Amino acid sequence: MSKVKSANLGYPRIGEKREWKKALEHYWAGKITKEDFLETVKTLRLSYLKKQKDLGLDLIPVGDFSLYDHVLDTAVLFGLVPERFRTDEKEVSLETYFSIARGSKNAEASEMTKWFNTNYHYIVPEISNDTKPYLTSNRLVALFNEAKEAFGITTKPVIVGPITLLKLAKGYDQDHFQTLLTALIPLYVQVLSELKAAGAEWVQIDEPILVKEQTAEDLVLFQDTYQTIKNGVPNLNLLLQTYFEAVDDYEKVVQLPVDGIGLDFVYGKEANLAAIKTFGFPKEKVLAAGVIDGRNVWKTDLSAAFQELKTLLGFTGGNDKLWVTASSSLLHVPVTVSNESELDPVLANALSFADEKITEIVTLVNGLNKGESAIETELDKNSDDLLALQQSAHRNNNEVQEELSQLGEELPARPGSYRLRQQIQTDAFKLPPLPTTTIGSFPQTTEVRQARRNWRKGDWTEEQYEQFVNDETAKWIQIQEDLGIDVLVHGEFERNDMVEYFGEKLAGFAFTRFGWVQSYGSRCVKPPLIFGDVSWIAPMTVRESAYAQSLTQKPVKGMLTGPVTIYNWSFVRNDISQADVFNQIALALRKEVHALEEANIRMIQVDEPALREGLPLKDEKKADYLHDAVYSFRLATSFVNNDTQIHTHMCYSEFNEIIDTIDALDTDVISIEAARSHGEIISTFEDFAYKKGIGLGVYDIHSPRIPSVAEMKSYAERALKVLDPKVVWINPDCGLKTRRIEETIPALKNMVEAAHEVRKELSNPVG
């Protein structure tokens, strides 16, 4: 009898307690040898495979594990190494691999940007018109064999598809796309042929680019590409995997010459389900149905998912043509709820991390194969757990719901126009041209982290910890004064994370102990859980900001995280609309902004680095999201006096797509990155006459290298060709918490010097 199968698209890399991160950082710091590092990560990799096997999965992935980033892995696999990192080596060394990702003493790191609309960052492949791809070494065969030898598992290798890889790359002219694709396809065939020879039965080829709008030419490209690949490996089963949304061109996508199609029935549920009901599904192909949310942490409504799967089963060619999967790789969720012993049971019982999601997949498959009665106990418990959270007081705060009901449709507005505010603020602050500042945080040293641990464990009193934070703040206020920075920050030494810190002080949030996810490289974040109605309890930032301001005559910025970023960098309840959660957070932040203004903090930065990353992938959904984002930001900030200057910060965004939205935020100053993209972002302002204040991120803080004065000057000078010097500020491209002191101070010194030199050039123009 044929059976429905359970499958996973990808598993978290970081380990239950971030063992992967620790190994990476120890290796980078020279604390362990390369051999010890590679042995450690191999042990971790194998443990993940064993766990998935023990949980009962039928199809377990390999190739999803990475030492840094899976897109970088794919680029390196095919020799797509930026010119500045190329050597004579055929195989790309570990040193070169990490240099591409992190930079080296002599070369800037490759650009990093968001993976579609997630908070995971990938390394952007750099390809020139004359790049000649080649196969460096087939790591997928090595990983496939490793799993087979260790556990006897015939795994499902995973690779980023050639079209997505090239569409996400940069550096080549579009008229060379076909030439580059033509060069890549035989290499994919070679990789797949070697996997088939090693015993692979299925390979998952990820083409998430398919959920974005495709032209008729794009669809022909997919048809021709996969026909050529299939012709090259006719006896290997290929699963073409999509995720994060529905496919627009369903009829053509499901007819592509592959053996299975993976569709997202969570974030693309409505459109994908409607398409299947309208057009059917090819009986000869496998449907990998992503009914478990791969990006959020709530238990799936298993009864509802079970009924959806029964519906989908009616469109397939038999039980063996249906796989049950998550909607995407589980890279985006923490590893397991089993370590979370300190959460409210009502909340904990409603959570599902990677391991629990695999169990949900296996449970649903058991029900489909053995009958619903076989999983009746699991269905009943699942229903009870979800209902208990929904009926809890956390989700029924009458005061918050009343505040929401009072909001009007019209956008909140500042009392005066930007031009009026600019004049008032110029007179009030008396800043020099090209004022210098930083984004907010300073290095979180071992001492800072240890102090926080001492306080959290109760080894230090509240007074001891406050004194430590005061001392660090005073030290860095003095450092900023000595460097000649014009607008100062308090350094955020009291903060663990820019979202977690606020969530800990607001109602409606909860925090895990080990709920980490990878953001980029070894950088892991522990997103809060927004599980109830959000409300302000008491001032969150006033004490530290006011203390810092008391130490200096220069302005000190109050530092807040904006409502959209708090939303996008949290795991968010899915029972009310996104707009309602935005506005709940905004109403809470509004009270904090008011408290800062009352404390005479006249510059307040409300950061929205994640605004664009939440942008829907479908054009028809973008306008509503952007409207809701602007509304919530202005709800939090628009009531302030004209002499209070509102700043915001965004990073690693393709600003040209949302420049109108940035303008509509109506901030007085926005800071952006200009270095990691090698100044490309400035071209946005060649086409859009941006008149408000703009802070240029003239150096990349995600790399340990210290940029030169000349390098930073070049970004400023390029910007001044299209921007009015009266609105330009100079700053790093992001916060400095992850950098070491010995990197931070020299880099800031160079930044200030670069600003001074450009000021001199402005006051003494040549000719």
- Give residue-wise pLDDT tens across range 95-122: 999 999 999 988 999 999 889 999 899 9
Short-list 632, 597, 635, 596, CA closest to 614 = 632
Q: What is residue 74's predicted lDDT score, i.e. its pLDDT?
A: 98
237 or 724, greater pLDDT? 237
Q: Give the span between the Cα atoms of 412 and 631, in whole angstroms.
A: 7
Q: What is residue 645's predicted lDDT score, i.e. its pLDDT?
A: 98
Question: Residue 652 pLDDT > 80, yes or no?
Answer: no
Domain architecture of the chain: domains with CATH: 5-390 (3.20.20.210), 419-763 (3.20.20.210)
> Where does the pLDDT of residue 677 fall: very low under 50, low under 70, confident under 90, or very high at 90 and above?
low
> Where does the pLDDT of residue 259 fall: very low under 50, low under 70, confident under 90, or very high at 90 and above?
very high
- 189-201 average pLDDT score: 98
CB 607 within 8 A of CB 565: yes
Q: Give the span between the Cα atoms of 742 and 738, in whole angstroms.
A: 12
- 716-737 average pLDDT score: 90
CB 338 within 8 A of CB 302: no
The residues pairing with 61 across neighbouring beta strands, listed in sequence order, are 156
Residue 358: CB partners within 8 Å, gap ≥ 6? 6, 8, 52, 55, 56, 57, 330
Q: Give the span between the Cα atoms of 408 and 437, in whole angstroms.
A: 36
Q: DSSP assignment, residue 260?
A: E
Alpha carbon distances (Å) from 383 to 350, 358, 531: 9, 18, 17
CB 140 within 8 A of CB 157: yes
Q: Is the dihedral of CA 367, 372, 374, 375 positive or negative?
A: positive
Q: Give the span between the Cα atoms of 190 and 366, in whole angstroms.
A: 37
Q: What is residue 610's predicted lDDT score, i.e. its pLDDT?
A: 86
Q: At what angle do helices 139-151 and 70-77 cross, to 10 degrees?
A: 120
What average pLDDT does the chain have?
A: 94
Question: Residue 308 pLDDT > 70, yes or no?
Answer: yes
Residue in this structure with the two tokens 């999509």, named with its chain if needed: 242
Binding-site sequence positions: 18-21, 114, 439-441, 492, 523-524, 569, 607, 613, 649, 651, 673, 734
Q: What is residue 690's predicted lDDT score, i.e. its pLDDT?
A: 81
The values of phi and psi at residue 98, to 5°, are: -70, -30
Question: Residue 475 pLDDT > 70, yes or no?
Answer: yes
Tokens of 624: 């509503």
Question: Residue 373 pLDDT > 70, yes or no?
Answer: yes
Neighbours of 717 (CB within 10 A): 14
Binding-site sequence positions for L-methionine: 439-441, 492, 607
- 34-56 average pLDDT score: 98
Q: What is residue 423's predicted lDDT score, i.e. its pLDDT?
A: 96
Neighbours of 133 (CB within 10 A): 21
- Counting residues of the chain whose pLDDT is more than 70, the rounded percentage is 97
> Where does the pLDDT of residue 764 fall: very low under 50, low under 70, confident under 90, or very high at 90 and above?
confident
> Where does the pLDDT of residue 66 fall: very low under 50, low under 70, confident under 90, or very high at 90 and above?
very high
Q: DSSP assignment, residue 7?
A: B
Question: Residue 518 pLDDT > 90, yes or no?
Answer: yes
Question: Residue 719 pLDDT > 80, yes or no?
Answer: yes
Q: What is residue 230's predicted lDDT score, i.e. its pLDDT?
A: 98
DSSP notation for 670-699? EEEE-TTTTTGGGGHHHHS---SEEEEE-S
β-pairing, 517-520 vs 529-536, is: unpaired
- 380-390 average pLDDT score: 98
Q: Give the span between the Cα atoms of 479 and 745, in whole angstroms.
A: 8
Short-list 138, 251, 107, CA closest to 203 = 138
Tokens of 581: 């959660």
Q: Give the span between the Cα atoms of 571 and 581, in whole angstroms.
A: 12
| pLDDT tens per residue, range 431-450 | 999 999 999 999 999 999 99
Question: Residue 460 pLDDT > 70, yes or no?
Answer: yes
Q: What is residue 613's predicted lDDT score, i.e. its pLDDT?
A: 80
> Where does the pLDDT of residue 328 fall: very low under 50, low under 70, confident under 90, or very high at 90 and above?
very high
Q: For residue 657, give the amino acid letter.
A: E
> Where does the pLDDT of residue 681 fall: very low under 50, low under 70, confident under 90, or very high at 90 and above?
low
Residue 113: CB partners within 8 Å, gap ≥ 6? 121, 122, 124, 652, 654
- 316-338 average pLDDT score: 97
Concerning whether 394 is annotated as a catalytic residue, the answer is no
Short-list 244, 258, 248, 205, CA closest to 326 = 244
The residues pairing with 113 across neighbouring beta strands, listed in sequence order, are 122
> Where does the pLDDT of residue 698 fall: very low under 50, low under 70, confident under 90, or very high at 90 and above?
confident
DSSP notation for 265-293? SSTTHHHHHHHHHHH---TTSEEEEEEE-
- 331-352 average pLDDT score: 97
| pLDDT tens per residue, range 526-574 | 999 999 999 999 999 999 999 999 999 999 999 999 999 999 999 999 9
Alpha carbon distances (Å) from 551 to 482, 654, 676: 13, 38, 34
H or E stretch at 74: helix 70-77
Alpha carbon distances (Å) from 260 to 204, 321, 525, 679: 9, 8, 34, 42
Binding-site sequence positions for L-homocysteine: 439-441, 492, 607
Binding-site sequence positions for 5-methyltetrahydropteroyltri-L-glutamate: 18-21, 114, 523-524, 569, 613
Question: Residue 682 pLDDT > 80, yes or no?
Answer: no
- 282-293 average pLDDT score: 98
Q: For residue 671, give the amino acid letter.
A: S
Q: What is residue 614's predicted lDDT score, i.e. its pLDDT?
A: 86
The values of phi and psi at residue 179, to 5°, are: -60, -45
DSSP notation for 353-379? -HHHHHHHHHHHHHHHHH-GGGGHHHH
Q: What is residue 688's predicted lDDT score, i.e. its pLDDT?
A: 73
| pLDDT tens per residue, range 120-153 | 999 999 999 989 999 999 999 999 999 999 999 9
- 291-314 average pLDDT score: 98
Q: Which of 121, 332, 702, 756 is catalytic?
A: 702
The residues pairing with 262 across neighbouring beta strands, listed in sequence order, are 241, 288
The C-alpha R_g of the chain, in whole angstroms, comes to: 26
Q: What is residue 766's predicted lDDT score, i.e. its pLDDT?
A: 59
Residue 745: CB partners within 8 Å, gap ≥ 6? 479, 483
